[in-house]
Amino acid sequence: MAYKLYNRDGSGGFVVEAALALADAPFELVKLDSTPGTPLPAAFREINPWGQVPVLLTPDGTMLTESAAMLIHIAACYPDRDLAPRPGTSAHGRFLRWLVFMSVNLYESVLRKGYPERYTTDAAGTAGVSEAGAKRLADGLGLIESELRPDGYVLGETMSLADLYLAMLNAWHGGGRGLPLCDAVTHRVAAHPVIAPIWQRNFDQRLPTKWGRA
Ligand SMILES: N[C@@H](CCC(=O)N[C@@H](CS)C(=O)NCC(=O)O)C(=O)O
């Protein structure tokens, strides 16, 4: 039995697809006909009542939403692939900290930037919400930047699924904006031999920076 991943190119399911590929897990990708930055077709609510991608159906048919939950689950299902530190260690605590930080604070900031009308009842105030979302994303990436070491990854010397998440957020942020260590991680993730084709299909058309090939 295989996993089934619902996503649209350029959206947050990128990290889940890349994690499944790193795990060498069998999966089917269901690509929705929808453009990033727009609401998904109403019919998709039959699969996810919250109306968002990614959605992951596990081999036993369990339906998961929340990209961070999917990454934690995949890492736990494939412990020999070293996608995350071993549960119960301090390194795993740090892995959870940064993954949840990025999911709760930074992914959410991207949504504020892209869908500001959801975050205010003031129709005249959407530009401000969008601007504040962009600033919050920049601030959060700046915090991660301050913790990174040159040639390092989110957890130190070893790449983990947290770096895939950082790379995706930083690519959405744009790159070349005073975050050289985040940019370096993004380039290394995008150039990873297993991830590169997935990255290119998701982001090359959509984003001006051709990550991984600078
Ligand atoms: N907290 C969710 C956020 C998912 C999310 O915001 N997905 C976006 C695509 S990147 C989406 O489905 N946008 C369409 C919409 O919100 O209507 C997660 O981490 O998976």
HEC string of 166-205 equals: HHHHHHHHCCCCCCHHHHHHHHHHHHCCCCHHHHHHHHHC
Cα 150 to ligand 1 centroid, rounded to whole Å? 31
- The DSSP bridge pattern shows strands 55-57 and 27-31 to be unpaired
Domain definitions of the chain by residue range: 3-81, 90-192
* CB 75, CB 19: distance < 8 Å: yes
Q: Is 41 in the pocket of ligand 1 (CB under 6 A)?
A: no
Q: Which residue has the tokens 């530190």?
A: 85
Residue 66 in contact with ligand 1 by CB distance below 6 A: yes
User: What does residue 7 show for φ and ψ, rounded to 5 degrees?
Assistant: -160, 175
Cβ of residue 67 lying under 6 Å from some atom of ligand 1: yes
- Amino acid of residue 62: T
Looking at the predicted structure, is the pLDDT value of residue 214 above 80? no
The domain made up of 90-192 has a fold known as Glutathione S-transferase Yfyf (Class Pi); Chain A, domain 2 (1.20.1050)
Read off the pLDDT of residues 49-100 as tens digits, 9 standing for 90 and up. Answer: 999 999 999 999 999 999 999 999 999 999 999 999 999 999 999 999 999 9
pLDDT of residue 37: 82
Same fold, 3-81 and 90-192: no
What residues pair up with 123 in beta bridges, in sequence order?
A: none
Q: pTM for this structure?
A: 0.97
Range 3-81 has CATH code 3.40.30.10: yes
